[in-house]
Structure 1
Amino acid sequence: MSFQSLYCAAFDGLSAKEVEVEVSFTKALPSFQVTGLAGNAIQESKQRVQSALMANDFKFPPLKITINLSPSDLPKQGSFYDLPIALLVAMYGRNNIKDSINNEKPKKYFAFGELGLDGRIKDTKAIYPLIFSLLSDEKNLDSIFFLPMESKDFYCQIPNLKAYFVDTLSEAIEILQTSPTIVNIIQELPFSYMDICSERYYYSDNFELDFIDIVGQIRAKRAALIAACGFHNILFEGSAGSGKSMIATRMPYILPPLRRNEILHNASHNLIITPNRPFRNPHNSATKAAILGSAVGHSVKFGEISLAHNGVLFFDELPHFPKSILESLREPLENHYFVISRLCTKVKTPSDFMFIGAMNPCPCGNLLSISKECRCSKREIDSYRGKISEPIWDRIDLCVQMQEGDSNKDRISSKEIQKQILDAFKFQKNRGQKCYNSRLIGESLEEFCKLDDECISVLDKAIARFGISLRQKNKILKVARTIADLAGSDNIHKEHLAESISYRKIS
C-alpha cells in the first residue's frame, strides 16, 4: 500500500479549517471511493478526476483507490477538491512530493481548483475566501498553494501568498516532481491612495452617482457629509420625491478610504477587488434570515448586515420593515457584530456598517409637504412613527428633515465632498486616532472629545431641556468631533456642539 497527502480547506463557521486529503491504494476489486462527509459536488469529482487523468495518459492501477478528507466529522462541499484528489492519484508510483525550498522543514501543500474533463484547472468563487482566511493564521504563512492560473492577478493581491499558478493538471504534476522556485510578487492595487502614518489608504475617484445631481437640500447634504466623514448612522425624513434615496445611494462613493486588508476582506463576499465600499439595500419584504443571516450545521449564510460590513446598509421606507427585524438591529448597530445562535452553532459575524434610514413623515407622506395636504390623523402619525422604538432612535446619530421646494440651486460635486472627507480623515489619523469618530468609546472618547467649560454648559442645558440619554450624549460628542475635524479644529467649540445638537431626533 502506498500513501501520500495534500491539503485543502473547508469553512467551519467563518474560519477556514484545514482538510487533509489522503489517498490509499489497496489490493482489492478496482474502485474509486471518497470518504469524510463529502458532499455531492465532491462525490461527482470522481468522474471529473478520472477523465482529466486519462486525458493526461494516466492509467489507473487495478487497485482500490480510497480518498479520505480529514477531519471526517466536518461536512465538506465544493468542486475545488478536484485538484488535490487528482494530484494524489496521479502521484501513484512516482517519487514522494518534494519540499520546494532547499529541502528545509516540510511545507504544507494546499491545492484548490476544479478540473475540466480535459485536465484544465478552473477557478471557483469559494476558493478566495478560504485562502484569505487560511493566510490570516500565522501557522499557514509558510504553506505553498496550487491555484488556477486564470485568476493569478486576483490572488496575487493577497499578502504572504506563496503559490504555483497552473493552467493544467499536467503542469501541477510536473511542479510536484521538480519543485521549481516560487516567485510571487504582490501586485500593487491600481487605485488612488494616500499615505498616512506609514500606512496606505485607497479610494476611488470615479463617481458613478454624483452629488452634483442633487439640487438644493443644503442641510441634508451637509448632514450627509458629516455622517460619511465620521461613519455615523443617519436618517432622512421627508416627503416622497424629496431626494432621500438620491442622497443615500451616493454616500458610498464619498466614504473614508480603506486599507488594503479591508479591501481584500470585502472581496471575500463579492470577489471584486475595489476601493468602493459595499452598499446593501434590502427591500422591506426581506425575511429575517435574509437580513441577519443564518447557520445550518457548520455552514453560515451571510445576511445583509454582514454583507454590508465596512460599507453601507440602507433601509428605505424604514417603518415598513417588520418590528422584529428593526429590533434585531440593536446589537449590530451598537456592537458592530452579530451572533447567530442555532441549536449546534454559534457564530459571531462582523457587521460594522454605516446605517442609513429613509422614511416619510406620516403614512400618506404629505405631512411636511408645502403643496399637498396631509390626510393622516395624529393617532395614525403616532402609530407610524412608533414603529421605530426609542432604542433604535438612540442608535441613530443624525436625523434630518428634507426641505421640499428648496429654492437654493447650489450644487456640490462628490469630488468636492470627498476632498473634505479625505482632509478630515488625514487630520484624524495624524492625531493618533485609530477608529472612526462614531466608534470612539471609553478612554478614546474622553481623549478626543474633550469640552471646555462653555461647551459643557451648553451640553448640560441641552440634556436638561430635551431629556437626552447618556447614549445620545455620547453620539452628540462624536458628531461634534466630526464637525470639528471638517473645520480643521483640534478642539470642539461651541458652534460645533450646537450644530451637532441640532441633528438630534425631532420629537
Structure 2
Amino acid sequence: MLTKTYSSAVYGIEATTIAVEVNITAGTKYYIVGLPDNAVKESLQRIESAIVSCNQRMPRQKIVVNLAPADIRKEGSSYDLAIATAILASSNQIDSNKLADYLILGELSLDGKVQSVKGALPIAIQSLKDKFKGIILPNMNAREAAIVSDLEIFGVESLFEVIDFFNDKIDLKPTIVDIENEFLNKIDNYEADFGDVKGQENIKRALEIAAAGGHNVILIGPPGSGKTMLAKRLPTILPPLTIEESLDTTKIHSVAGHLTAKDSLMTVRPFRSPHHTISDVALVGGGISPQPGEISLSHNGVLFLDELPEFKRTVLEVMRQPLESRNITISRARFSVDYPASFMLIAAMNPCPCGYYNHPEKECICGNSTVQRYLSKISGPLLDRIDLHVEVTPVAFKELASKHSAEKSAEIRKRVIEARKIQRERFSNNHQVHNNAQMSAKQVREICQIDAGGIQLLKIAMEKLGLSARAYDRILKVARTIADMEHSKNIENHHLAEAIQFRSLDRESWAG
C-alpha cells in the first residue's frame, strides 16, 4: 500500500517541503531513495527500533521509501518521524485520513522518544505558505515554530503520541505563543549598562555615533583601558529589534540549532564574540553541509573581534566582501545558499605587542618597525571598511574613584533612536538601505553634500593623512550621522572635523 506524509528540508535559511512516500509490497529488505545522506539511510534502523518500542509491528516485507523531489539532497535525521508515520499508515496500523494536513518532523530515539531538530521556524513559515493545517514536531521546538500564527503547532514527546493522535485516541494541545507579549517582556533584557562605565566620555561619544549610524568601529588602546567593557555595552544603546528583524534573526539561530526549548523569538540584538583562533569557515559559514557562521549569527546585531591582530589574516580578509554587501553566498558544486550578514563590526586591539605605544605614562619597548609590523597584520582595505578608529586611553584614578553616576544606556539609546528615525525617513523609498552606514557611493554624493569650506577641510585631511577614496566616503557618512544627531539638515564643518578625528590609524603619529 502506498502512503504519503510530508516533512521539510532547510537550505540556507529557507525551507523546502519534502514528500515522504512509502510503498510496502511483497518481498524483503528496506530501501530508501531520493538522494539521502548517511544519516537518512541509517534512519530505518532507528525507526524499526522505535516502532517496536511503541508496541507496533514493523512490516517484514519490501519497504521502499522515496523522498521527493529526488534531485534535492536530503540531510540529517529530521525525517525519522515522517518516515515512521508513513510506514505505520502504509501497514494499516494508523489512520491515514489526516496525514495530508500536517507536516511531520523529528528525530527518533530507539525507545520512540522524539529528539529536537534544526530550522523549525523557517519550516513553519514555509508550511504556512504551502497551506498545511499544522506541524507535528518535537516539544523542544514547539515554541520556536509557534511564532507563526494561523498554524497548529503540536509538540510531541514520543512516537506513541503521534500514533494516538492520528488514530483519534488523544487530542494534542497546540502550542500558542503571544508574540507581542514575548517581545515586550524581553526587549530590554541586558545585564550591562553604560552607567557602569567610569570616565571614557569620548569613547562613549564615538560608540553613540556608531550606534546612531550603524557604523563599524575599532578601539585602539593599552591593556586594561576598558575596550572590551565598552564593546559589550554597545548593544544596549542600539535601537530595539523590530518584529521583522527579530524574525530574520531567529530564523538564522534556528537553522544553526542555537535556540533552546524555552526560546521562541529573539528579542535582543545578538552579540557574538568569537575567539581569535576561529577559522575562516567558522566566521563566514560553510562546511560540507553549509551552516551560518559568526557573521550571520551576528545579523542585526554586533560582531566583536577582540585582539584583532591575533586573528589569522585570511580570516579577517574573508570579511571584506560581507562588510560591503551585507550578505554571504556559500557555493557548492550542486547548490549555493545565501545567509544575511548585516552586522555592526566592533574590533579592539593593542597599539603594539607590548601594548603601550602612545601611552601617556608607560614607556613602549617596541621599536617603530615592530609597531608597524604589528599594525600591518590588519590590511588597509579592511581598515578602510571600518568607519571609526577610536583611541582609548586609560581611565585616571580620580575618575575611577568618583561617585558621580554616568549616563545610563537608556538615555543614550533615546538619542540613537531619534537619529535612526531621521535616517529611516530619509531612506523610506529604498528597502535595501536602513541607516547611513549602508549608503552606496552614489547616495553619499547625493545626501552628504558639503560647502566650499567643508571641501577644503576634507582636502587638507586627505592630503595629510593619505586617505583612500573609500575612507573619504566613510568620513562623509560619519559626518552625516553626527549632523543627524544634532537634527542638522546640512553637514557643517564641525561635523566633518569630528568625523575626521575618528581616523586614528590613518595618522602619521601611528608607527610613523
TM-score (norm 1): 0.84
Contact 2:103 2:132 in 1 (8 A): no
Distance 1:35 1:422, change over 3 A: same
Residue in structure 2 matched with residue 227 of structure 1 by the alignment: 210
Which amino acid in the other structure matches residue 188 of structure 1? I
Contact 2:101 2:133 in 1 (8 A): yes
Which amino acid in the other structure matches residue 67 of structure 2? L
Which amino acid in the other structure matches residue 21 of structure 2? E
Residue in structure 2 matched with residue 104 of structure 1 by the alignment: none
Contact 2:117 2:141 in 1 (8 A): no
Residue in structure 1 matched with residue 228 of structure 2 by the alignment: 245
Which amino acid in the other structure matches residue 314 of structure 2? S
Distance in 2, matches of 1:413 and 1:218, equals 12
What's the offset of the Cα at 1:452?
A: 4.6
Residue in structure 2 matched with residue 489 of structure 1 by the alignment: 488
Residue in structure 1 matched with residue 194 of structure 2 by the alignment: 211
Match of 2:103 among 93, 102, 110: 110
What's the offset of the Cα at 1:39?
A: 3.9
Distance 1:414 1:125, change over 3 A: farther
Question: Greater shift after overlay, 178-187 or 75-84?
Answer: 178-187
Distance in 2, matches of 1:336 and 1:377, equals 38
2:316 partner SS: helix
Distance in 2, matches of 1:176 and 1:446, equals 63
Q: How does 1:69-468 map to 2 (within 5 A)?
A: 69-92=67-90, 93=92, 97-98=96-97, 109-116=102-109, 119-120=112-113, 122-128=114-120, 130-131=122-123, 134=126, 139-142=129-132, 144-159=134-149, 161-169=151-159, 171-173=161-163, 176=166, 187-190=178-181, 204-267=187-250, 268=254, 269=256, 270-271=258-259, 272=263, 273-296=265-288, 299-342=289-332, 346-406=336-396, 407-408=398-399, 411-433=406-428, 435-441=434-440, 444-446=443-445, 448-452=447-451, 454-468=453-467
TM-score (norm 2): 0.83
Distance in 1, matches of 2:385 and 2:63, equals 59
Distance in 2, matches of 1:458 and 1:39, equals 62
User: Cα deviation per residue 1:414-466 (whole Å; 9 max; x = unaligned)?
Assistant: 22222222232333334554502211225544554344555445434434444
Distance 1:131 1:347, change over 3 A: closer
Distance in 1, matches of 2:286 and 2:206, equals 34
Residue in structure 2 matched with residue 198 of structure 1 by the alignment: none
Contact 1:393 1:505 in 2 (8 A): no
Distance 1:368 1:170, change over 3 A: same
2:483 partner SS: helix
Which amino acid in the other structure matches residue 361 of structure 2? S
Distance 1:498 1:32, change over 3 A: same
Distance 1:129 1:274, change over 3 A: closer
Distance in 2, matches of 1:55 and 1:282, equals 43
What's the offset of the Cα at 1:58?
A: 3.4
Distance 1:429 1:339, change over 3 A: closer
Distance in 1, matches of 2:2 and 2:187, equals 51
Contact 1:10 1:130 in 2 (8 A): no
- Across the aligned residues of Structure 1 and Structure 2, the Cα RMSD in angstroms comes to 3.3
Which amino acid in the other structure matches residue 357 of structure 2? L
Distance in 1, matches of 2:276 and 2:111, equals 47
1:80 partner SS: coil
2:342 partner SS: coil
Which amino acid in the other structure matches residue 49 of structure 1? I
User: Cα deviation per residue 1:59-79 (whole Å; 9 max; x = unaligned)?
Assistant: 445532222223445443333
Which amino acid in the other structure matches residue 116 of structure 2? T
Which amino acid in the other structure matches residue 469 of structure 2? L
List runs of 5+ in structure 1 lacking aligned partners.
101-106, 194-201
Contact 1:158 1:264 in 2 (8 A): no
Distance 1:342 1:263, change over 3 A: same
User: Cα deviation per residue 1:103-125 (whole Å; 9 max; x = unaligned)?
Assistant: xxxx66421123455655x3514
Which amino acid in the other structure matches residue 276 of structure 1? V
Which amino acid in the other structure matches residue 63 of structure 1? Q
User: Cα deviation per residue 1:326-381 (whole Å; 9 max; x = unaligned)?
Assistant: 22221112222233345555444322211111111122111122332111111111
Distance in 2, matches of 1:344 and 1:95, equals 38
1:416 partner SS: helix
Q: Once the two structures are aligned, what percentage of the paired residues are identical?
A: 38
Which amino acid in the other structure matches residue 258 of structure 1? L
Distance 1:60 1:319, change over 3 A: closer
Distance 1:21 1:373, change over 3 A: same
Distance in 1, matches of 2:172 and 2:354, equals 69
1:65 partner SS: strand
Residue in structure 2 matched with residue 38 of structure 1 by the alignment: 36
